Structure 1
């Protein structure tokens, strides 16, 4: 202290303009003194040398409080966008299938396998399974491109109302799906026993040498294959219809029909797959995202392919075809248990069902 009553003043900083408009970078040129081409004052007291930032962002989200199937209803939503996006995804599926088949054929030739015109018609079951799963998994980029490039919305809105996949909720749904699958298998075994249906050939053990390669392929690729089908049928299709139609049921029913047609099941198998798709679509709306449908689909397919791999009957699983009527009982129990538990836990944990 020097005993002076004069208030202390900070040293002069030449970067600060007299009008107090802000601090310029050390090497910034002096601002123009005359009127700028765009009018108004610049950031340092002079005329504005650059045009004002205008326009809308490319990806625009729907308003807060929007239901999952309506997330494509942003400012630029038009009737032709979901139509064009659906065509893009269909083309993407054809490209993904072609790339997978060509890649699988090259691998088969390198391994010395005999390959016909279509590797899916060959006798190399594990390679067939790999090609099939990859051809479906590779559709995910096309679905994301349709949302971002055609509908001009954040592609994360395909996953949930929060604009992302809710990993914690997905893990919970996987655990619920495992419990529902176990309950379904118990009910199915009981129905087989009561009706006297022979299960010979359905269960068995092929040995570790053949089981391990098959289960590795299943565990690595089935989650992506199942997720891709959910993004296409319960994600894109629900929201494509939802961009134009208020009720979710036309999309759920059309998506379930398309999902069933995509599979090779007959008679009771068609009803089985259709029921699965109805429940998955309903859960996507009720939980505000694809976590529950993805978990259900992944656990169901891993279980089905895993049992077939253990029994050495992967080829039969790939052909799909007819299933016994008792399977409907197992599917009904599985869907009922899973849907009820997911709904109750989602309400208890206040899982978001509309956008924030």
Structure 2
């Protein structure tokens, strides 16, 4: 999609610098705004182990600092690459909302199956799963629920537009194969996370499959759908149990969690591609 008549070797590089600068600039502004809100509301500003004493505020700042980069991604496509921003969404030049809705339903099933597989693996290896679930009460859960539901879709979509849209398409213009762009996007996506050991494998594998799905389905609808559902489901249980602060720390991931990821990604890829084939979803530009 980035291989247009006006494409030049420097356009993807300049656009990437613009987007990277936007990431930094937006993060600084949002963090400053969050600090002001914290000071006015009496929330401690932490110097170690997190940003704020309120994990909901910290989550909101984290999600906003990513979500607000999306207009800059569209701007880079329009002003630097001289192409319609909609071409980042799909080969149709727009986000295909009906297809996105179908992918969301498949993603929900995939994530549920992945959670079940992970719980069964924990149980089979003698690890308890009871501590993963709890109830902190509506007074504390509702603010977190609102933040997750309102902001996670935009945060997840922005990451997909950056790594499976801009990077995959922009650097794909240099190569005949999409794989250099897929792997580069997955590596950059992984670098934004603070996970270690198995967590790195988990995130990188997710990034690779989402890049491949973007190519095979001709757009970002499938990656956005799974990313949104996965993140919502990842945040809500710790928010409900009062462990949201620990969830934001990322860090190490038990190997048992990989079983859930394999089931989730495998189910989503197979079912989505079958449906895309049956519905003759457009996969190449015309």
Per the alignment, residue 89 of structure 2 pairs with 159
Residues 105 and 119, structure 1, Cα contact 8 Å, conserved in 2: no
Counterpart among 5, 14, 21 of residue 84 in structure 1 = 14
Checking the alignment, whether the CA contact within 8 Å between 2:43 and 2:52 is kept in structure 1 is no
Q: Distance in 2 between matches of 1:111 and 1:119?
A: 20
Q: Counterpart in 2 of 1:185?
A: 115
What is the alpha-carbon distance in structure 2 between the residues aligned to residue 120 and residue 164 of structure 1? 38
Counterpart contact for 1:184–1:333, Cα < 8 Å: yes
Query: Quick one: structure 1 residues 185 and 116, their matched pair in 2 at CA, closer, same or farther if it must change by over 3 Å?
Result: closer
Pair 1:74 & 2:7 matched:
no
TM-score by length of structure 2 reads 0.97
**Deviations 1:270-305 (Å, cap 9, x if unpaired)?**
101111111100000000000000000000000000
Q: CA deviation at 1:117?
A: 6.4
C-alpha displacement of 1:198: 2.2
- Spell out, residue by residue over 1:288-328, the C-alpha distance to the aligned partner (whole angstroms, 9 max, x if none): 00000000000000000011111111111110011110111
The TM-score, its normalising length taken from structure 1, stands at 0.78
The residue correspondences of 1:52-63 to structure 2 (distance < 5 A) are none
What is residue 226 of structure 2 aligned with on the other side?
296
Structure number having the greater helix percentage: 2
Unaligned 5+ runs, structure 2? none
Specify every segment of 5 or more residues in structure 1 that has no aligned partner in the other structure, as ranges. 1-70
After the TM superposition, which residues 230-249 of structure 1 pair with which residues of structure 2 at under 5 Å, given as runs?
A: 230-249=160-179
Q: Which residue of 2 aligns with 1:56?
A: none
Q: Does 1:333 align with 2:263?
A: yes
- Give the Cα separation in 2 of the matches to 1:148 and 1:179: 36
Q: Does 1:220 align with 2:169?
A: no
**Counterparts of 1:186 and 1:346, CA distance in 2:** 26
Give yes or no for the alignment of 1:145 onto 2:75. yes
Q: CA RMSD in A?
A: 1.3
Offset of 1:116 from its aligned partner? 5.0
| 172-181 or 249-258, which deviates more | 249-258
In the other structure, the counterpart of 1:308 is 238
Equivalent residue pairs, number: 286
